[in-house]
Amino acid sequence: MTENSYEVRPIGRVESSLTDRATAPRQGDEGAPDAWLVFQEDVHEGLRDLRAGEEVILLTWFDRAARDVLVVHPRGDLARPPQGVFTTRSPDRPNPIGLHRVTILAIEGPRFLVKGLEALDGTPIVDVKPVLAQDAAER
């Protein structure tokens, strides 16, 4: 890596019935299917305190996104005026990190079933974080 870049190393992959970006839901609460998070063996120890029923924040890397995009039509709708990408959740952005708040439905060893995830099949997982009160609260 150069001095001014860093290496993201996936810790797992999404297994989903979604394979086509054009028809995928825009957000998890818009009819996205349940999906499996399949974690690599080398991070299992870090997952040991997660439980079914909990909500977590999942970070993914949109590996099929365009990174040279700074202005987009929100939700891909050409009828809407273009907006700076940092006021949208477009996957096309300089660092295509996906942010998803999901509920864990079941855990089977290294496989975690989560509710309503809009990420495509094969999407790399880069982090899992607990939800904190400050994520939700007005400050």
Q: By the criterion CB under 8 A, which residues form the site for its own copies?
A: 1, 4-11, 27-29, 43, 45-50, 55-57, 59, 61, 63, 70-71, 83-89, 93-95, 97, 99, 101, 103, 115-116, 124, 126-130, 132, 134-139
Which residue lies nearer to its own copies by CB, 15 or 103? 103
Query: What is the nearest approach in angstroms of its own copies to the Cβ of residue 53?
Result: 12
Q: Report which residue type is found at 86.
A: F
Query: What is the nearest approach in angstroms of its own copies to the Cβ of residue 17?
Result: 19
Per-position b or e across 1-36, b if 16+ CB within 10 A of its CB: eeeeeeeeebbbbbebebeeeeebebebeeebeebb
Query: What is the nearest approach in angstroms of its own copies to the Cβ of residue 23?
Result: 20
Burial (CB count within 10 angstroms: exposed 0-12, middle 13-18, buried 19+), residue 47: middle
